[in-house]
Amino acid sequence: VKTAETGYIQRRLIKAMESVMVNYDGTVRNSVGQLIQLRYGEDGLCGEMVEFQSLPTIKLSNRAFEKKFRFDPTNERYLRRVFNEDIIKEIMSSGDVISELEKEWEQLQKDRESLRQIFPSGDSSVVLPCNLQRMIWNVQKIFHINKKATTDLSPLRTIQGVRELLRKCVIVVGEDRLSIQANENATLLFQCLVRSTLCSKLVSEQYRLTTEAFEWLLGEIETRFQQAQVNPGEMVGALAAQSLGEPATQMTLNTFHFAGVSSKNVTLGVPRLKEIINVSKKPKAPSLTVFLTGAAAR
């Protein structure tokens, strides 16, 4: 691949997209005001504030999932190991706590189902803001959390705290049906991650967060999430063009000979990129997919 070729491709990409930017209403538009995306990247988060995180619920078997995430308010020995007396009394005496815990468990199961539909391959790694594991670790360091001691954080407070936090993490503001749906789509993965990482069982048993530490963590997640939203005026067009140009210079796929490698198609490499950009009427390697039917298919 000649550098001149990819360099020219990159220049054309930049000239085509240089005016594309994020507007003050959160939409992505070009210089003549044509709408390109309603939210940058469909979730309105900027690329430098997100990291790979893994969703803990997807890969677990049903039994392991229940063991790890289901809070059992009936097991008194377990409660005494984790909570102090006041909290145990509250859990034992009030029906609210038990119904809330049931609701939480149902929600976790729903989340798991929807995640399995989104990632049918079972790939649990996603790109989301606020690295929760690191933030929990920081909280434990800052508040000197003793994992052997009992905690004063009620599971009810955990569930309500997470619910309030997710209500505050909004990408698309608005009360109409479309806005609500768009916001659902933009924040679904983040909500699933937060709900599964900060479920009452893990917070109390595994992380042993105190009330103070938990409140601090919620506030921190909220500010980090706000910071991770893309700023108006971000020139995302030039960013995208350069992101395409960089791998193009490293492509050594100026070839049509892949001896028996089925994963690589003809539609690869710089020649194809040129065809796409030129919108050429006559592709160099027109390909045809033939499906056999009936007896021949076997």
Per-residue pLDDT of the chain (298 residues; tens, 9 = 90+): 688 889 999 999 999 999 999 999 999 999 999 999 999 999 999 999 999 999 999 999 999 999 999 999 999 999 999 999 999 999 998 889 999 999 999 999 999 999 999 999 988 899 999 999 999 999 999 999 999 999 999 999 999 999 999 999 999 999 999 999 999 999 999 999 999 999 999 999 999 999 999 999 999 999 999 999 999 999 999 999 999 988 888 876 555 555 555 555 666 778 888 888 888 777 777 778 888 888 887 7
DSSP, collapsed to helix, strand or coil, labels residue 263 as coil
> Do you know the residue count of the chain?
298
Residue 26, sorted as left (phi over 0), alpha (psi -120 to 50) or beta, turns out to be left
**Token pair for 272:** 């194809």
What global pTM score does this model have? 0.86
Helix axes 155-168, 177-197, angle to 10 degrees: 140
Q: How far apart are the C-alpha atoms of 294 and 38, rounded to whole Å?
A: 45
Please, what is the end-to-end C-alpha distance for the chain in angstroms?
41
